[in-house]
Amino acid sequence: MSNTMSKAKKILFITQEITPYVPDSPLSRVGREIAEATQTRNREIRTFMPKWGNINERRNQLHEVIRLSGMNLIIDDTDHTLVIKVASIPSTRMQVYFIDNDDYFSKRHMAKDEKGQEYSDNTERAVFYARGVLETVKKLRWIPEVIHCQGWMSSIIPLYIKTAYSEEPSFRDCRVVYTPSDDALKAPLPENFASILQFRSANIDALQGVPVTDNMQALNYLGMKYADGVSLMRANAEFRNYIRTLDKPYLATQKAENYGTAYPNFFDKVWSAGKTEEETDEE
């Protein structure tokens, strides 16, 4: 019997921020550096982020991908048009896909408005982003083995992968890693969160067992609960304590110079943990 750990060769990165498209921050640096470091390890990657309103399309050379755009997604009984744009980061081989929509992204800032107030529809934006990415990946006909979600904006994806999209060929066999973001968002979940979240078999029951259920921090816990593995961007005692209650692989905070080793190895660990011995032996 082989003891060799099987490698995850195709990694999908679904993040909240990537430098240089948005102002420099710990999360925007992580969004770029982990993906870039993984790609240098001979892994095939795809990368997604929201097309926030503060992204300069001309300067960053974004252009719409017509063949991927135009789908309508229904969020809480309202249609919203999905627009896909793409750009490449100079000096790297990284291509980034952007999820865009006039209502949720292109005319808006990130989590907070120009006055520093959290947007009241942030949960709707997260759900639209999750479904927009997953539907686009299906259209690309590119099947990831591991999906790395970073930040609250991607927090709904682990749940959808395990429920609403569990039988989709593009995601049926993939594993999900979630990295929570410590954005200190305090706004309460909206009263209609159940109808916002509802899609196919995904519903509000997903919050059962999550330690926070009344504000935006619940999204980070939801992401950790449904992921196959969890990594931390920086030390957070509350997140770490919750992770200890979960029976799944965990990667502690890493220095940037270690990303190229630590993260590909962690993706392989999560990928192998989800496979049977027979499947692993066939590699």
pTM of the model: 0.94
pLDDT of residue 20 exceeding 90? yes
What is the dotted CATH code of the domain comprising 10-281? Answer: 3.40.50.2000
pLDDT above 90 for 1: no
Question: Identity (one letter) of the amino acid at 116?
Answer: G
**pLDDT tens digit sequence for 113-147:** 989 999 999 999 999 999 999 999 999 999 999 99
pLDDT digits (tens, 9 = 90+) for 55-109: 999 999 999 999 999 999 999 999 999 999 999 998 888 999 999 999 999 889 9
Task: Give the pLDDT confidence score for residue 91 in this predicted structure.
Answer: 80
pLDDT at residue 93, as a whole number: 83
What are the domain boundaries of the chain? Answer: 10-281
Residue 61: per-residue pLDDT: 96
197-254 tens-digit pLDDT: 999 999 999 999 999 999 999 999 999 999 999 999 887 899 999 999 999 999 999 9
Q: What is the mean pLDDT of residues 10-22?
A: 96
Rg, C-alpha atoms of the chain: 18
